[in-house]
Amino acid sequence: MGSLGARHGLGWLMGLYFLSHVPITLLVDLQAGLPRDLYPVELRNLRQWYTEEFKDPLLHNPPVWFKSFLFCELVFQLPFFLIPTYVFFNVSP
C-alpha cells in the first residue's frame, strides 16, 4: 500500500513539473521569438528583469539560430508538456 501511495505522489509531482513548464514557455521563453505586441508590458518587464538578473544572453539578444530553437519549443516541446501532465494526473499507477 505504501509503495502505491508513493507512486501516486510521484506521479503528481511529475505532473506538476510538466505543468509548470507551460506558463514559463508561453509567458517568458517565447517572447524572444514571437512579436513583441503579443505580450503585455508586465510580461515584457518580467523578461527584462530575468535577463538582467540572471545575465541570460540568449533571451537578452537572441541570435537567429536560437529563434529556430524557440520555434521547435512551440511546435514540439509545448504540446509534449501537456501530454505527460495529463498522463501523470489521470492515469492510475
Q: Read off the pLDDT of residues 9-66 as tens digits, 9 standing for 90 and up.
A: 888 999 999 999 999 999 999 999 999 999 999 999 999 999 999 999 999 999 999 9
Q: Which residue pairs, CB below 8 angstroms and at least 24 apart, start in 23-30?
A: 25/73, 25/74, 25/77, 25/78, 25/81, 26/78, 28/59, 29/59, 29/70, 29/73, 30/70, 30/73, 30/74
What is the per-residue pLDDT across 62-87, written as a single tens digit (0 to 9) for each? 999 999 999 999 999 999 999 999 99
Report the distance separating Cα 84 and Cα 81, nearest Å: 6
Report the distance separating Cα 81 and Cα 78, nearest Å: 5
Identify the residue whose cell numbers are 523578461: 47
User: Which pLDDT score, from 0 to 100, does residue 91 have?
Assistant: 78
Q: What is the pTM of this model?
A: 0.81
